Copies of this chain bind each other. A is one copy, B any other.
Amino acid sequence: MSPATPPALDTKTSLLDAAERLFAEHGVTASSLRAITRAAGANLAAVHYHFGSKEALVQAVFARRLAPLNRQRLAALSRCEADGCRDLDAIVRAFVAPPLRMIRDTPGGRDFARLVARAFLEPAAETRQLVLAQFEEVIGRFTAALGRALPGLDRDELHWRFHFMAGSMAFTAGLSHLVERRLGSGPTDVEQLIRRLSGFLAGGMTAPPAPERAR
């Protein structure tokens, strides 16, 4: 049996790769350090030598990809704002495109997407807070941009719609393989999926605001 993560440059990144994959496949708590180190071709003690604990390894797995991902989102939003930012679709696209492109371009990106989607719902307060903290700036900048583009929405409606958008995004990134299997088609054209999703979300964003009371 060859090691599951072939191009192991150094032990530390091999551990990160193996942990990312196993966390996504079997969950964090269900992935033992023995299984991770075995998959990484490393010794059991290597995790504690390089990271200090399993919890520190978990946080390292998230931090490695989450920071660049949200930097891409903010950069895309800044670019959109510099261009005047008339098009609502461009704002939505700045939010949803980076993670979906990561699935296509980054090895292990699909595993990571599932991992992040689950992290929001997952219970371990520590990692959930870590993930949420990484998103704090993104939430603020994007809700502000959406508020400017959609002046007809009050604050509550705006936050809820951002939440709806984030939900669609997380599920799409984390469960894209499920729809693919159902459709039976080949590998998804990510760029078209981005168009589909951003079109859907832009339609939801521009919907008339919900009435205060039932009609």
The chain A residues found within 8 Å of chain B, CB to CB, are 24-27, 29-30, 114, 117-118, 120-124, 155-157, 159-161, 163-172, 174-175, 178-179, 182-183, 185, 191-193, 195-197, 199-212, 214
Instruction: Report how far A150 CA is from B214 CA in the complex, Å.
Output: 25
Complex Cα spacing A169 to B172, Å: 12
Query: How far in angstroms is the closest Cβ of chain B from A127?
Result: 11
Known contacts A24-B123, A175-B120: A183-B164 contact under CB 8 Å: no
Residues A164 and B200 in contact, CB atoms below 8 Å apart: yes
With contact pairs A200-B207, A210-B192, A210-B196 given, residues A168 and B164 touching in the complex (Cβ less than 8 Å): yes
Cβ of A171 and Cβ of B170 under 8 Å apart?
yes
Given A164-B200, A172-B167, is A121 in contact with B121 using a C-beta cutoff of 8 Å? yes
**Complex CA distance for A185 and B159, rounded to whole angstroms:** 12
Residues of B within 8 A of A120 (CB): 171, 175
What are the 4 A-B residue pairs with the smallest beta carbon separation, nearest first?
A167-B171, A203-B207, A204-B204, A195-B210
Least CB distance from A164 to B in Å reads 4
7 interchain pairs (CB within 8 A)? A25-B123, A121-B171, A163-B178, A164-B172, A167-B171, A196-B210, A201-B204
Closest residue of B by beta carbon distance from A207: B203
Q: CB-CB < 8 A to A124: which residues of B? A: 26-27, 30
How far is B24's CA from A209's CA once the two chains are assembled, in angstroms?
A: 32
Known: A27-B122, A29-B30. 15 other contacts (CB 8 A): A29-B29, A118-B118, A121-B121, A121-B171, A159-B179, A160-B172, A164-B200, A166-B171, A167-B167, A191-B214, A192-B210, A195-B211, A200-B204, A200-B205, A204-B207
